[in-house]
Amino acid sequence: MTADSQANAGQGASSRGAMAAALLIGTVGLVIAGVQPVFFGALLAADRLSAAQVGHVAAAELVSIGIGVVIAESFLERVSVWLSTLVALALVASLNLATVWTSGLGVLFVRGLVGLSAGVLVWMTTGVIVRSARPTALSAAFLLTQAIVQFATSTGLAIAAPNARDGVPVTIAVLAVAAMLLVPLLPKRLNPLPRDPAQVSGLPPLRGWVVLAASLLIQSCIVGAWVYFEPLGRQAGMTPQQVAFAVPASLGAQVVGGFAAIFLARRLPWFVSLIVSSIALSAVLFILSTPPGATAFFVLETLFGAVWIFITPFLTPLSIENDPTRRTALLVPSAVLVGSGLGPLAASTLADDASAGRVLQLCALLAIGATLLIVGLYVTRSRVAGGQAAPHA
């Protein structure tokens, strides 16, 4: 896609107001990804879910978001953006409130429906991003917006309602209602993206599939560990106050990691960034699985948050260099969402109510697997047709 075609595709969706509104509304659909430890910790404490069911519910919601994106892309392109966004926000609000009265399989069912509705919000935001002149920069801004809102949500709950069993779903419902006020700032419709007539297939090349596999493994590692941090922190001897502020501290570190990624994006090679970050993830998770003392657990969980947000934007240059057509780059968010669901699902097979330390060891191995795939892509990079990657700022 040329710069001119990008600009044409972005007409009506590139104003600063539309971009800001799209980022904030899309973030409502992904708040749960950052506050899952708080949410599932409350459900576990209330005996509304078992340790194994935590992984099932986390997988159901996050995979459902990905399915919701696909459904929206298939059926909502010609529907008013305002209408589809308002309906999705209303469903997200009402279904989050419905979570308050569920337990066990009921939680699984309702959170799956929440995910489908949230997928429409993510689809809308992605539509604005890919039509902008600088999609990578806007993607990084989306990650930062998520981190900031998730940090504010978890911090607010830790201060105002640390023992509230339903604080997370009620807060997300409130955010969804508030986000309705931003809908008029969005474009009424998204212009069709230009198509390359020379492109026979929309599927990525082999190297692109390897990139998608690495992206999936990284996100599986991150989210698979993330959803079990609260019970593991308790097992490590953390006080209730430390447990309450561990997630906000980790999310605050994500903000720092996001700014660091933006600053270093053009200064640090993607290979160095991804390898150092994935090795750091493995090391942190292996140490946490022991587990260390309460203070060390708190510090390492915070560091985990910074590495999490830092590593994600570098998946874009990884995908573009290995597939300059950007077909792979368009599929990376889908791989990330699938990984976000499969990670907790795989982790749930090892979790039990007594100890979930093996979960972190599995997640560390997933990060090592992603590292090996990235190294393989790097050492064989001369085989990429065309030799040069497209600019991705």
Q: What digits encode the pLDDT tens for the residues 195-235?
A: 545 444 556 788 989 999 999 999 999 988 887 787 788 88
Do residues 257 and 360 share a domain? yes
Looking at residue 28, its amino acid is V
Do residues 264 and 393 share a domain? yes
**Is residue 15 a part of any domain in this protein?**
yes
Do residues 82 and 229 share a domain? no
**Is residue 148 a part of any domain in this protein?**
yes
Instruction: Establish how many alpha carbons lie within 13 A of residue 324's alpha carbon, considering only the half-sphere containing its beta carbon.
Output: 11
**Is residue 196 a part of any domain in this protein?**
no
Confirm if 107 and 55 have CB atoms less than 8 A apart.
Answer: no
Do residues 374 and 256 share a domain? yes
Expressed as residue numbers, the domain containing 228 is: 202-393
Do residues 210 and 177 share a domain? no
Do residues 164 and 285 share a domain? no
Phi, psi angles (nearest 5°) of residue 200: -75, -45
Q: Structure tokens of 391?
A: 């600019």
Last residue of a domain, one of 166, 191, 216: 191
Please name the residue that has the structure tokens 């459902």.
64
Do residues 103 and 134 share a domain? yes
**Is residue 353 a part of any domain in this protein?**
yes
pLDDT value, residue 356: 62
**Is residue 99 a part of any domain in this protein?**
yes
pLDDT value, residue 366: 93
Do residues 98 and 223 share a domain? no
Nearest Cα neighbor of 21 from 104, 129, 106 is 129
pLDDT value, residue 12: 44
**Is residue 21 a part of any domain in this protein?**
yes
Do residues 158 and 240 share a domain? no
Instruction: Please state the domain count of the chain.
Output: 2
Whether 325 has a pLDDT exceeding 80, the answer reads no
pTM: 0.74
Q: Structure tokens of 86?
A: 């308002």
Residues 9-13, mean pLDDT to the nearest whole number: 44
Cis status, amide bond into 291, omega within 30 of 0: yes
**Is residue 16 a part of any domain in this protein?**
yes
Residues 241-261, mean pLDDT to the nearest whole number: 82
* C-alpha span between 235 and 291 (Å, rounded): 8
pLDDT value, residue 216: 93
Confirm if 237 and 294 have CB atoms less than 8 A apart.
Answer: yes
Phi, psi angles (nearest 5°) of residue 119: -60, -35
The full DSSP string for 121-170 is HHHHHHHHHHTSS-HHHHHHHHHHHHHHHHHHHHHHHHHH-TT-TTHHHH
Do residues 150 and 253 share a domain? no
Do residues 61 and 155 share a domain? yes
Whether 84 has a pLDDT exceeding 70, the answer reads yes
Last residue of a domain, one of 169, 191, 213: 191
Do residues 164 and 286 share a domain? no
**Is residue 197 a part of any domain in this protein?**
no
Confirm if 55 and 44 have CB atoms less than 8 A apart.
Answer: no
Q: What is the CATH number of the domain that holds 91?
A: 1.20.1250.20
Confirm if 26 and 143 have CB atoms less than 8 A apart.
Answer: no
Last residue of a domain, one of 160, 191, 222: 191
Residues 331-349, mean pLDDT to the nearest whole number: 79
The full DSSP string for 17-43 is HHHHHHHHHHHHTTHHHHHHHHHHHHH
Q: What digits encode the pLDDT tens for the residues 102-148?
A: 988 999 999 999 999 999 999 898 888 777 767 666 777 888 888 88
B/e letters for 130-139, b = 16+ CB within 10 Å, e = fewer, are bbbeebbbbb
Q: What digits encode the pLDDT tens for the residues 139-198?
A: 778 888 888 898 888 888 878 776 677 889 999 999 999 999 999 999 988 876 545 454
* C-alpha span between 70 and 297 (Å, rounded): 38
* 3-class state of residue 110 by DSSP: helix
